Amino acid sequence: MARKPVQRTKHIPQRTCVGCRQVMAKRALIRIVRTPQGVQIDPTGKLAGRGAYVHEDRQCWERALKGALARALKTELTEQERIVLTEYMQSLPEESHVA
C-alpha cells in the first residue's frame, strides 16, 4: 500500500506587540533592537541584540514609548533614542488596527 504524502503547514513565527499586547505574525510588526550602539529600528529583523516588536500604527507606538518598550528591551531610552523613535512614529498611519 502506498502512503499518502503528509502535507506540512509552514510555521509562522508569532510575536507580541509591546504597545497593545496583541500576538501577530512576526513580519507584520516592526522590530526595535537594543545593540551596544543603542536602541534602533531594525527594518530587516535580523540585527543582533535584544528586540521588541510594535505594530505599525501610532497608538501602539505611543503606548510603547510610555514605558513598555524600555521594559521589554531592559534598558532606559536616552533622549536621543526617544527623539528618533518619536520621529519614526510620526511617519506612521494614525488609524488603529485594534478593535
pLDDT tens for 34-54 read 999 999 999 999 999 999 999
Range of the domain at 74: 14-90
CATH number for the domain that contains residue 52: 3.30.1230.10
Asked whether residue 25 is assigned to any structural domain, the reply reads yes
Mean pLDDT of the chain: 91
Res 99: pLDDT: 46
CA max distance for the chain:
68
Q: Residue 95: inside a domain, yes or no? A: no
The verdict on residue 18 lying in a domain is yes
- Count structural domains, the chain: 1
CA distances from 55 to 7, 16, 33, 89, 97 (A): 32, 9, 14, 10, 9
Task: Establish if 52 belongs to a structural domain.
Answer: yes
Q: State pTM to two decimals.
A: 0.84
Closest-CA residue to 54 (of 43, 79, 46, 36): 43
